[in-house]
Structure 1
Amino acid sequence: MSDAVEGGARRRGRDETEEERADRMWQELIQEVRVAQMGVQILFGFLLTVVFTEKYDDLTNTDQTIYLVTVVLGACATGALIGPVSLHRIVSGRRVKPQAVRLASRLTLLGLALLLATTTASLLLILRVATHNGFVPYLVAGVVGWYLLCWLVLPLWTRYRHTSE
């Protein structure tokens, strides 16, 4: 990060054009999406196999409903996290990279929210089937709290604490 003195005031940031900034942000976004895509695709692939097991028929109606909701959430998360790739391919060369980066960033955030919902529902289903215990919702709530701390609270705290924007 460079510091430049402009009119007696210190200016922080990179000295890059809007296009250079969009290129850099696109590369960073794609690296982030790769991590999330891997997780959601593994989880979604696992979820798709559950319905074909003998155990599925033994699930209660509630657990089957949780399963179906989880699969739909996983499909939606997959779509949102793969969306930036399709967006880039379709608009590539059209001189709209800054706008594409903003839209891809929103799709990624939506995909992460859907991944959180998918993971939550998966955990709920697994723990309900594994334990048949009343503490399961509290345990799932604790894990969701942990995810929210890692994925939202700490990043927002860092943004608030260390930036002026």
Structure 2
Amino acid sequence: MTTYSPLKKWNVGKGSRVAVVGLGGLGHIAVQFAHALGTDVTVIGHSESKKNEAAQFGADNYYVSSPEVFQKLAGQFDFILNTATVDIDVNAYLNLLRVDGKLVYVGLGAAHQEYSVFSLFAGEKIITASNVGGVPVTQEMLDFAGKHGIKPKIEIIDPSYVPTAYQRVINSDVHYRFVIDISKL
């Protein structure tokens, strides 16, 4: 729901160029939804390690964030969904947007984010965030996911594994979501 709701709210669909920042627990679902909505989907990641998986989820392109990549992709996207929980260079991402482009946060980093207001003026860009939707949108999302075979990639763990799983989350060693098997409590 976290990734579906903003895509629907901002009318992202066929003909839209979408960038998903991060291919983790939220990002891999966002790519699937954006692809099923008919968009051209690009993933911007921090390493080459998930490039092949991004394509399997429906990404048309995959780039590792760098100054050269940001220069190459300037003005290319209608919508950027930030699923990462790390600090990003907001100005650099705003530069990737077309006129009236939206940068939407669903991944929440702990640090304060800064940007220049002038980064918004060049194309009347929008920075916003999305939390979740209500019951009707949730049902719509479930129906859409079912119709398009969208599902999370999970690793089922025992409750005793939780401390190790937590450390793996900190180490960015999760592909893509942990699910605790509560039958083993």
Work out whether the TM-score is over 0.5: no
**TM superposition score normalised by structure 1:** 0.21
More helix by share: 1
Which structure has the greater CA radius of gyration? 1
